[in-house]
Amino acid sequence: MKNFVVLGGGTAGWFAAFELRRLFGAGVSVTVVESPRVGAIGVGEGGILNFPAALVGRYGIDLDAFLEGTGAVFKLGFEYIGWNNGRDDDVFYHLFHSLPTEGDGRVIDGIAPYWSMLAAHGIGIHHAIYSLPFVLANASQREVRSACEASGGLMPWSLHFDAHRVSAWLKLAGMARQIETHVGNVVELVRDAESGHVHGLRFEGEERTMPCDFLIDASGFARIALQKAMGMQFRSFTDCMILDRAIPFYIPHPRANPHLVTSALAMNAGWMWQIPVRERVGCGYVYSSAHLSEDEALAEIETRLGHEIEPMPTLRFHAGHFPEVWVGNVMAVGLASGFIEPLEATSIGQMLGQLVMFGETVAQSQGVVPQSTISTFNHRNLLDWDGIRDFLCLHYDVRRRDTPFWRDVASRPLPTSYTDLKAAWQLRTPRPVDFNAYRAGHVLHFDATSWFSVGQGVGVVPQAAAQADLGMLPREVVRFAEAFLDSVRIRNAATMHM
């Protein structure tokens, strides 16, 4: 294969092009096709931990140049407001973290003693996270970067960014790597009659056909390859994930420095994201159209914020994914392969994880990839989507019943893969072994401590489960955990009196 084509010039498309160039070097042609009619989707985006790992580690992007060129800012996790009772004083955090080690209560048989000690006493386990004081103090970008570099890995981070600026910056970086671009509207994927493989692309108003040996479809919600050209069946998650609209908009920064977490504010029929970049905050109300009209959603936004907004066009989506994303010589990534909703920045995280899995598959196969390996790839990718779906189901397994939406969410059937875990967590806290089914040999996006953080925050993991953990630990370990609990109480008391 000599001619690789990436269909779509958004974030997913450019990262896919970087992966192809990394895999095959300068001996092949990599072309990103951009439509003049379609722009990048997103008003404020956020990554998870695999974003900086890909950006800096895998693809060798200079962090300083990226920050300067895109206005991106550091992100330390997620903040949830009003998810249990709708009030602004109902707050919990899911902060990025490293797995507990010797220094902060090492894991013993899957139990994180310090975390369990906090949870057993009704204290949020985010108080065990190194980054919490920086979030609460609204630390500056310089302070956060210095702390991250000095922490020895105890303060992992990701980034908040504007998708439009990132796509434009990645394009310049890609062109410097001899990745070509072509602007045009695709009217046909030319396919072989027997194999179904794509061997060319035809464009509106152009006579020549662009040759193609392998196609990566990053065409977003247009889903040109799998849906339009191949008619592949979509696997819907709408039985348990009912949000299907998003109204994006911008607001000025409400703080002296950009907030260090993605805020997720619970609303009457969904939730509102607030994602800071350097100049402003990108926001959006993600809601269920079965419970709210667009006008009602706009009115609720303005009531919640206390001022008028200038909304951008409403985005429509359908929760789910394609069970097979690699078919013949075509692979779909990003929105072209599936989407659930923006919560927990899973879309970009899943895309990057899939590209890593693709790269490992091709490299370890030395480019000779049998169909059985492709089938295994697709199965692993499906399990990844299952894990994301179940993790998001956890967020909506809350106690509030004050609006029709939240009552409807509570009555929806949940996947048995999630309810089985929930039943176990009534007796003990989440364990790494619980998530092996989602891992399937590749990196897990959200480990046991992420599930513990959110599970405690929404009340799915009760205090009794953490208390049971402590009863399984050696007494000496429990004493160390009790000392840590005392230090957290002292620190919290001092903060309250400042």
**Residue positions in the annotated binding site?**
9-12, 75, 186, 335, 344, 348
Closest CA to 17 of 48, 61, 49: 61
Would residue 339 be called left, alpha or beta, if left means φ above 0 and alpha means ψ between -120 and 50 degrees?
Answer: beta
Residue numbers in the known binding site for FAD are 9-12, 186, 335, 348
* Residue list for the binding site for 7-chloro-L-tryptophan: 75
Task: For residues 134 and 147, give the distance between their C-alpha atoms in angstroms, rounded to a whole number.
Answer: 9
Would residue 422 show up in a list of annotated catalytic residues for this protein? no
**Which long-range contacts does 403-406 make (Cβ < 8 Å, 24+ apart)?**
403/268, 403/269, 403/291, 404/269, 404/291, 405/268, 405/269, 405/270, 405/287, 405/288, 405/291, 405/292
Q: Are 384 and 350 in contact (CB under 8 A)?
A: yes
- State how far the Cα of 195 lies from the Cα of 483, in Å rounded to an integer: 66
Read off the tokens for 327. 């078919």
Residues 406, 398 contacting (CB under 8 angstroms): yes
Q: Which residues are annotated as a binding site for L-tryptophan?
A: 344
- Active-site residue among 2, 75, 228, 422? 75
Q: What is the 3-state secondary structure (H, E, C) of 293-311?
A: CHHHHHHHHHHHHCCCCCC
Q: Which residues are catalytic?
A: 75
